């Protein structure tokens, strides 16, 4: 009975496996499309950043190494 319970528990745990929800590297074709990037037109991203800077009156907070708190 105990082993049956353990087996059932294992089955339930395996159902939570990240493989069920994870997008595998070979399934990322549509993520790789230009339209999926935050700034689809590379030439415009610098200009957009400049406008953002003027509008918000603050620099920084765009790069990934910052927290995005706007405090720098």
Where along the sequence are the contacts to another protein (CB under 8 A)?
3, 6-7, 10, 24-29, 32-33
| Least distance to another protein, CB of residue 9, Å | 11
Is 70 within 8 Å of 61 (Cβ atoms)? yes
Token pair, residue 8, equals 């059932």
Whose Cβ is closer to another protein: residue 39's or residue 47's?
A: 39
Alpha carbon distance 9, 31 (integer Å): 35
End-to-end CA distance of the chain: 61
| Least distance to another protein, CB of residue 26, Å | 4
Whose Cβ is closer to another protein: residue 30's or residue 65's?
A: 30
């Amino acid at each position: 009975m105990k082993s049956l319970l353990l087996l059932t528990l294992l089955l339930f745990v395996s159902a939570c496996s990240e493989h069920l929800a994870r997008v595998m590297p070979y399934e990322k074709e549509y993520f790789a499309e230009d339209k999926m990037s935050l700034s689809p037109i590379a030439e415009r991203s610098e200009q957009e950043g400049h406008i953002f800077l003027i509008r918000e009156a603050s620099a920084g907070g765009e790069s990934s190494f910052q927290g995005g708190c706007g405090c720098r």
